[in-house]
Structure 1
Amino acid sequence: MNKKLKLFGLILFLLFSGNELRAQESFISDISYPYLEKLIAIAKKNYPEVKVRQSQVAIAKSALNQSKALWLDAFTASYIYSPKNSLNLITPTIFNGYQLSISVNIGQLLSKPSAVHSARESLNVAQYQQQEYLLSIEAQVKRLYFAYLESQAELRVRASAVLDGETAVKQLKYSFEKGETTFQIYNEALTSLYNQGSYKVQAELAMLTAKANLEEILGVKLEEIK
């Protein structure tokens, strides 16, 4: 009788422990912050959107340098050559030889400070956007890494539940064949084992999906990261 009670208690555990098992496994101890920092560095190096932000900053820097150089556009230099032994009755000149003249476009000269300021602000915007995205991708890597660890912990729970269920079913099968338990209890154990197997398959899919999501932002397989 005592043995039957133990077997019945085991069946109850299998039938009702599906949701409670989740609380028995923690992934906190699996977290490696040095490894996480490595993942963040790899994502910042490989993810295409990061490279887009870098290119935008480079373009903005180039535009700023170009706007500074365009100051010279407001000035126009020219020269006039008057031979020493020539007489120009239309536009008589005092000096002979080469004469240099410089003209200034006041409108262009006054517009340059505004253009330089605008280019500098565009560079600031590009840099702020780059900094914002780097913070965003860092947070995203952390979330995906934690989700991957959580899915691994969940899979361990489900795999352990399947092993426990298989052990219980074997014991109940032996007891049923000896007439020590009913077919109903044995059948409930089989049903519970089937459910735990289904939960395990779902946990495997969740783990593979979490791994794929993390690898997508890293640009490399986790197996390649030492």
Structure 2
Amino acid sequence: MKRKVTLLSILLLLALSVTQVQAQQESFLSDVNYSYLDKLIATAKKNYPEVKARQAAVNSSRALLTQSKMAWFDAFTASYIYSPRNSLNLVNPTFFNGYQISISVNLGTLLAKPFATKAAHETYNIAQYQQQQYNLTLEATVKRLYYSYLEAQADLRNRSRAVTDGEIAVKQLKYTFQKGETTFHDYNEALTSLYNQNSFKVITEMNVLTAKANIEEYLGVKLEEVK
């Protein structure tokens, strides 16, 4: 009789192990919601400070480009002289009366302007490219963090099922042990396995919270607020 009960105990432990292996092989791909993922990416692009910094750099370089284009007029200097018609200037005699307008050109400044404008234009392009590159990096980062979060959740479900199965096995072995039909060794093995599964579950719960915190760092809001 004891040999049969011992065999039953072993089968229960094997069933628990098979359940754990099946749980570990469960895929979380069906949990991926690509529409929700797009919302997460859009939220990160809206709230993450680095995105705002990149946009500010683009705006600044655009303003400098406009300023450089307008600076072409810096090469030209206009001035005027007014000589009254009824006055006589013996020190600096003039042949024209009334208003006299003169325009001077600084050739050095004029020749340097095309290069300055080109440099400003390239700076603007660089700012745009850097913004585009960061947007791609941000998208990839949010995707990885979202997948990690789903993986942690799936692992937690697996661990929770393992704990439930372990509790069932311990309950069954406790009943047979109290009746003297199961050895203490088998009962103790089941208790140890349940303790380990509970420990794994606690670690997995921490992994879920960590994964959630990681993605919320980029979102700027709680994950639950993204609808």
**TM-score range relative to shorter protein:** over 0.9
Give 1:107's aligned residue: 108
Larger mean CA deviation between 169-178 and 85-94 belongs to: 85-94
Shift of residue 3, structure 1, vs aligned partner: 5.6
Q: Per-residue CA shift, 1:163-192, capped at 9, x if unaligned? A: 000000000000111111101000000000
Pair 1:66–1:58, CA change in 2 (3 A): same
Contact 2:5 2:182 in 1 (8 A): no
Of 4, 9, 12, the match for 2:11: 9
Shift of residue 83, structure 1, vs aligned partner: 0.5
Shift of residue 24, structure 1, vs aligned partner: 2.8
Unaligned ranges ≥5, structure 1: none
What are the equivalent positions in structure 2 for 1:151-166 lying under 5 Å apart?
A: 151-166=152-167
DSSP 3-state at the match of 2:99: strand
Contact 1:77 1:101 in 2 (8 A): yes
Contact 2:24 2:155 in 1 (8 A): no
Shift of residue 90, structure 1, vs aligned partner: 2.8
What are the equivalent positions in structure 2 for 1:7-156 lying under 5 Å apart?
A: 7-14=9-16, 20-21=21-22, 23-156=24-157
Contact 2:6 2:186 in 1 (8 A): no
Amino acid at match of 1:60: S
Give 1:176's aligned residue: 177
DSSP 3-state at the match of 1:103: strand
Q: Distance in 1 between matches of 2:23 and 2:9?
A: 23
Shift of residue 4, structure 1, vs aligned partner: 4.5
Shift of residue 17, structure 1, vs aligned partner: 6.3
Q: Per-residue CA shift, 1:140-182, capped at 9, x if unaligned? A: 0000000000000000000000000000000000011111110
TM-score (norm 2): 0.95
Contact 2:23 2:158 in 1 (8 A): yes
Q: Distance in 2 between matches of 1:15 and 1:177?
A: 24
Give 1:214's aligned residue: 215
Amino acid at match of 1:127: Q
Shift of residue 69, structure 1, vs aligned partner: 1.0
Contact 1:68 1:116 in 2 (8 A): yes
Contact 2:9 2:186 in 1 (8 A): no
Amino acid at match of 1:10: L
Give 1:200's aligned residue: 201
Q: Distance in 2 between matches of 1:112 and 1:186?
A: 88
Q: Considering only aligned residues, what root-mean-square deviation do their CA atoms show, in Å?
A: 1.5
Contact 1:47 1:219 in 2 (8 A): yes
Unaligned ranges ≥5, structure 2: none
- The percent of aligned pairs where both chains have the same amino acid is 64
Q: Number of paired residues?
A: 225
Q: Distance in 2 between matches of 1:79 and 1:115?
A: 30
Q: Per-residue CA shift, 1:182-206, capped at 9, x if unaligned? A: 0100000000000000000000000
Pair 1:57–1:116, CA change in 2 (3 A): same
